[in-house]
Amino acid sequence: MPISAARHPTTPFPIQKDEAEWRAWLDAKIARGEAEPLAYEVTRRAATERAFTGRYADWWQLGRYHCVACGAHLFDSDAKFDAGCGWPSFWRAVPGAIVERLDRSHGMIRTETLCAQCGAHLGHVFDDGPPPTGLRYCMNSAALQWQPLPADDAC
């Protein structure tokens, strides 16, 4: 399955904050231990954490992955796989949770992934993932917040 010609939506994201509000919001989450120190740089400035350093690179507990900035549900643990790249990787996103945009930074052409609710930079998606989608959503741990499955969803 080819990656779509990604682009930013023409309408604003449903959750809007200016950069000072995002900085304050994420700094407060970091202070409470609810976000990694790189959360602002990754989600608002498209930074990338170093490979194999993120909290969720080798995290295999059942649960859901949410946007650290707004709480939107992005991925489920049953779609996570070990891509060996040093970042949490998923072969499927929650439908409608991700917006794609062409990224020509750093002399490369890639497909950037953004939270569809708040526009937070999450990582990139590549077409070298496993079946059935063939996709590899390569995410920054600092952009994610894991939550265990609710008791009624647990096996």
pTM: 0.88
Q: Is 138 in the active site?
A: yes
In a domain, 2, yes or no: no
Rounded CA separation 19/101 (Å): 20
In a domain, 7, yes or no: no
Of the candidates 115, 118, 138, 155, the residue annotated as catalytic is 138
CB proximity list for 36: less than 8 A, separation 6 or greater: 30, 49, 54, 55, 68, 141, 142
Count of domains for the chain: 1
In a domain, 115, yes or no: yes
Q: What is the CATH number of the domain that holds 65?
A: 2.170.150.20
What range does the domain containing 26 cover? 19-148
**Residue ranges of the chain with per-residue pLDDT less than 50:** 1-10
In a domain, 65, yes or no: yes
In a domain, 141, yes or no: yes
Q: What is the pLDDT of residue 85?
A: 97
Cα 94–Cα 107–Cα 89 angle in degrees, nearest 5: 25
pLDDT tens column, 98-124: 999 999 988 999 999 999 999 999 999
In a domain, 132, yes or no: yes
Q: What is the pLDDT of residue 31?
A: 95
Q: What is the pLDDT of residue 100?
A: 96
Whether the Cβ atoms of residue 143 and residue 150 lie closer than 8 Å to each other: no
Q: What is the pLDDT of residue 147?
A: 97
Token digits of residue 101: 């945009």
